Structure 1
Amino acid sequence: MHRITPSNTSRLTFTSSNNERTFSNTNLTPSPLKKNVTNVSNKSNSNKITQAKKLTNKQQPVLTSDQLHKTWQQWQKEAPYTEKQSREKVVKKLIENLKTQNSSLNLARCQISSLPILSPHVTELDISSNKLEILPESISTLEKLTCQNNKLKVLPPLFQNIIHLDCSNNLLEELPLFSNTMKKLDCSSNKLKEISLSSSNLTTLNCSNNQLEKLSISKNTLKTLVCSNNQLERLATLPNTLINLYCSNNKIKELPNIPNSVQTLNCANNQLSKLLALPANLDSLDCKNNRLEAISEFPSNLKKIDIENNQLKELPQFPNELTYLNCKNNKLTDLPEISSKLIALYIDKNKLTNLKDIPASLEILECHDNLISEISETIVNIFKHEYGRLFIGINPLSEQAIEHLKKIVLLSANQHISAEQLKSPKTPYNPYSLTQAG
């Protein structure tokens, strides 16, 4: 069926002797947090890590299996009235985990406000979506910790074995020291103002939705960096290993040199007035809602381009592999030759006078609010099928253009009407959006 719609619709050490298990315990109260966030690159912080390890080891008295049971039972007895059932369930999980010696323990969504000491064989812990405000230092020996969606204001002072940490959606204002084992860190949606993670083995960092004013990652092996929705005015030197960069919704006025390894770049909603040379391997570019006045060249591998809402008057040659193009709300008067593989084209709110060289591969065309008067037979042939979408309202369409459109659409404005009832083509800007919908 064909129809038309109005155009304005548009995530302890352990030892055993005979049959007796012994466990090392730690103080349940974290030490004061180190200032100036994480930085494991220099000798000063290396010394801090060594000292913290020594201090942690000194604080580890040994618990037997029975003592560990008693500790859990005492923790259960001390439960607030509203947590009695929750703690009972958690203790059952702890006892079962102790029997099975499973290295992974899931205590997510248990509605607990404190965490008891854990069995030392546990290396992976999920305590997400609880009511935790503080964590015991015993967790600092974990390899993987998921503690998102809590009320944490601080973390234990040292994670000496950590590989993967998700502490997103908390109230953190600082991060603790991490050793070089860290590979993945998600600290998004906190209250962080500064992060420094030089010279580590980190491959993935998500620090979006914070209050970051400074971010230092120059000596990392990062592959993915997500730092969107912060207060950043600039980015420091980016590592040559980077593949995906998401820095949208900041206050960035100029990007640094982007390594050729980068395949995905999202720098939308910033204050960019220009783009330096784009990386040769770039596959996806999103720089909408900036102040761009010119783009020198598109890399040949680009498949997706989103440059909506800028100040562009012209565009460079499009890549042959391009499948998606959004250049709405610019000042374009013409388009370069379009890729024969293009599927979606959004060119609304420009100053285009014609639509030439539209490829047969196209399935979506939005070109309302332009100066288009003629519609080619190519467009008719593309959109006469029962699929695809065409928005072409608010253009000074000629009589011939309307005759072409009669073949592929019905026109409506609040109700369905025939093509003959369209306002006179002499009216410069008709109020209709012509749509084909399957």
Structure 2
Amino acid sequence: MSQNDNNTDQKKSESHALVKSDENGHALTVKGKGRLLALTDSILKSAIASRKANQLAVDDSWMQEIWNWADSFTISEKKIPRNRQMLLGLTELDISGNLLEILPESIGNLTNLTELNLQQNMLSELPESIGNLTNLTKLNLQNNRLSELPESIGNLTNLTELSLRDNRLSELPESIGNLTNLTELSLRDNRLSELPESIGNLTNLTSLDIFGVRLSELPESIGNLTNLTELNLDYNNLSELPESIGQLNNLTRLDLSRNELSKLPESIGNLTNLIELDLSSNNNLSELPESIGNLTNLIVLDLSSNNKLSELPESIGNLTNLTELNLYNNRLNELPESISNLTNLIKLSLHGNKLSKLPENIGHLTNLTELDLWSHNLSELPESIGSLTNLTELNLGYNGLSELPESIGNLTNLTVLDLSNNELSKLPESIGNLTNLDSLSLHGNNLSELPESIGNLTNLIELFLSRNELSKLPESIGNLTNLIELFLSSNKLSELPESIGQLKNLTRLDLRNTMVRELPTSINQNRVKVIL
């Protein structure tokens, strides 16, 4: 081909038109290779810019929805930034206590959130889009009005803490079992009658609070939660526990109070890491399994207000780390001899039972600081009571005691002694050794006189002597110079000793139903309120 032919073909090529349509459908004709490249680049840039503009419009649309919602509930800009970049960058959002009634669907676009606090609002439902917040680790929904949860809640697989307490939930979705990274779950104060089997998938849980949700049974799968250290089942309707409860051998605190339990499974004895166990107020619980004695790490055991519990197993004496044992308001008529093994006990509450005597070895409990024996059928105390020299509070009110052992005077650390409503006709002289007493209750007895040693109790602040047979008071009563209140009503007193005027801190003197008609001149009636 000749050079002329090549030139001719080139000119023909250049003369061929490149036809494009603009965005309005009009034809555009551009000649030349260089111009073609320049136009192509321009079209691409224009398309990208247009796409970004459209996307920005879409983005601004959901953001505007959030901003409008925030404005309607007067949520501050500090909490919901009215700035695009800051809104997108939110990782923590606390909009608690704003009386929110709804959440917009667009909340699900805040996908960088790791913590969301919605407590103390008025939310009755959650949008499905809540499931898009897959970076959440903490979600607080307590104190709302939620009656159900969306299935999408199960998408929040990074959650470690979820609080649903104080809502109106009647059931949980099966998808709750997908939240396998949860370590803390609170369901307290809802309306759940049962838990889904999938709850057993939450094997990283360390704390589970199911207080007051009306549960009538637990799924067998509860035994899979072997990392639990705290389980609160207080105030439900449980009548029995699954055997699998015994698999929760990392539990340190278990609260089963205020249920309808009639018995405990033997497997309860496998929970050997328990330090606190509350079984109070189960009105049908009539006995404890021997395996209870395996819980040798227990520090606090509450068995109070079980109206049918009439005896304790001997194995109770194995719980030698106990410091607090609550047995009040049961039907116990005796204590096992093994009770004396609980030498670390600091507080023992037995009031409101039917004990007619105390074992002599009660005196082995030498670390006791509080002993409550109110309202029994006790007619006497063992001498060994005097070995409890660390006692600061001793309640023996409402028994049938006719005398006290001399050893009572060994309890020199007592600050409170209640001997009210017994049948005491006299007090031992050793009562005067209790010089740390600040409250002494002797009302409702048959005392006809007080020992002179009563005047040694110089730290007394209140002294209750009403409803006795006292016809006179010892002169030593005037030594009680810290006394603020003195109750002498319903006695046979006709006069008071002059020394009573030495009670410079006395502000109340009750003399109702006595024969006292004239007060010693030593009493300052401007300071003392005298009730005749």
Relative to the length of structure 1, the TM-score reads: 0.71
Residues 99 and 281 (structure 1), Cα distance of their counterparts in 2 relative to 1, 3 Å cut = closer
**Structure 1, unaligned runs of 5 or more:** 1-65, 77-83, 426-433
1:327 to 384, 396, 411: 396
Summarize deviations over 1:367-415 as a string: whole Å, max 9, x none: 11112222234433535x6x6211111111132448837976666879x
Worse overlay, 114-123 or 209-218: 114-123
Q: Distance in 2 between matches of 1:374 and 1:227?
A: 45
| Partner Cα distance (2:513, 2:401) in 1 | 31
Equivalent residue in structure 1 for 2:270, among 190, 194, 219: 219
Residues 267-416 of structure 1 correspond to what in structure 2 (within 5 A)?
A: 267-276=327-336, 277-278=338-339, 279-296=342-359, 297-298=361-362, 299-316=365-382, 317-318=384-385, 319-336=388-405, 337-338=407-408, 339-356=411-428, 357-358=430-431, 359-382=434-457, 388-401=461-474, 404=477
Distance between the aligned counterparts of 2:357 and 2:109, measured in 1?
Answer: 61
Deviation, 1:267, is: 1.1
Judged with a 3 Å threshold, the aligned counterparts in structure 2 of structure 1 residues 186 and 91 are, in CA distance, closer, same or farther, namely farther
The structure-2 alpha-carbon separation of the partners of 1:97 and 1:274, relative to structure 1 and needing over 3 Å to count, comes to farther
Please give the per-residue CA displacement for 1:10-59, whole angstroms capped at 9, x wherever unaligned: xxxxxxxxxxxxxxxxxxxxxxxxxxxxxxxxxxxxxxxxxxxxxxxxxx
Higher relative contact order (CA 8 A, sep 6+): 1
Distance 1:324 1:418, change over 3 A: closer
**One-letter identity of the residue aligned with 2:167:** N
Match for 2:254 among 193, 198, 205? Answer: 205
Once residues 182 and 310 of structure 1 are traced to their aligned partners in structure 2, the CA distance between those partners, rounded to angstroms, is 40
Task: Give aligned pairs, total.
Answer: 347
Structure 1 position 240, deviation (Å): 1.8
What SS does the corresponding residue of 2:455 show, helix, strand or coil? helix
Amino acid at match of 1:111: R
Deviation string 1:352-381 (CA, Å, 9 cap, x unpaired) is: 222332311001111111122222344335
Cα distance in 2 between the residues matched to 1:135 and 1:287: 41
- Greater Cα radius of gyration, structure 1 or 2: 2
Identify the range of structure 1 (223-232 vs 84-93) with the bigger mean alpha-carbon deviation: 84-93
Alignment check: 8 A CA contact 1:373 1:401 kept:
no
Aligned partner of 1:232 among 285, 289, 299: 285
CA distance in 1, matches of 2:486, 2:206: 59
What amino acid does structure 2 have at the position aligned with 1:211?
A: E
Matches within 5 A, 1:86-125: 86-88=101-103, 92=107, 95=110, 98-99=113-114, 101=135, 103-116=137-150, 117-118=152-153, 119-125=156-162
Shift in CA distance, 94/131, structure 1 to aligned 2, threshold 3 Å: farther
Please state how far the C-alpha of 1:96 moved relative to its aligned partner.
Answer: 7.3
Q: Which residue of 2 aligns with 1:4?
A: none
8 Å Cα contact 2:413-2:436 kept in structure 1: yes
Does the 8 A contact of 2:354 with 2:377 survive in 1? Answer: yes
Q: Aligned AA for 1:373?
A: S
Q: CA deviation at 1:167?
A: 0.5
Are 1:170 and 1:189, in contact at CA under 8 Å, matched by a contact in 2? yes
Give the distance between the partners of 1:132 and 1:125, measured in 2 at CA.
14
Letter in 2 for 1:204: R
**Map of 1:160 onto structure 2:** 203
Contact 2:464 2:487 in 1 (8 A): no
| Residues in 2 aligned to 1:347 and 1:254: alpha-carbon distance in whole angstroms | 26
Determine if contact 1:360/1:378 at 8 Å carries over to the other structure.
no
Residue 48 (structure 2) aligns with? none
CA gap 1:285/1:420 in 2 versus in 1, 3 angstroms: closer
Distance 1:165 1:365 in 2: 45
Is this contact kept in 1: 2:286–2:309, CA < 8 A? yes
CA distance in 2, matches of 1:96, 1:364: 63
Give the 3 Å change call, closer, same or farther, for CA 184–253 of structure 1 in structure 2: same
Question: Matched residues in 1 for 2:144 and 2:138: separation?
Answer: 16
The separation in 2 between residues aligned to 1:91 and 1:398, in whole angstroms, is: 84
**Residue 114 to residue 421, structure 1, CA distance change in 2 (3 Å):** closer
- Alpha-carbon spacing, 1:143–1:403, altered in 2? closer, same or farther (3 Å): closer
Aligned residue for 1:195, secondary structure, equals: coil
Inter-partner Cα distance in structure 2 for 1:90 and 1:363: 65
- State the alpha-carbon separation in 2 of the partners of residues 288 and 323 from structure 1: 17
> How big is the shift at 1:219?
1.0
Q: Which has a greater percent of helix?
A: 2
Is structure 2 residue 300 aligned with structure 1 residue 244? yes
TM-score normalised over the length of structure 2: 0.59
Structure 2 CA distance for partners of 1:191 and 1:264, relative to 1, 3 Å: same
Q: Which residue of 1 aligns with 2:176?
A: 139
**Partners in 1 of 2:142 and 2:487 — Cα distance?**
54
CA RMSD of aligned residues (A): 3.5
Matched residue SS, 1:314: coil
Counterpart position of 1:12: none
Q: CA deviation at 1:105?
A: 1.8
- Tell me how far 1:137 sits from its aligned partner: 2.8
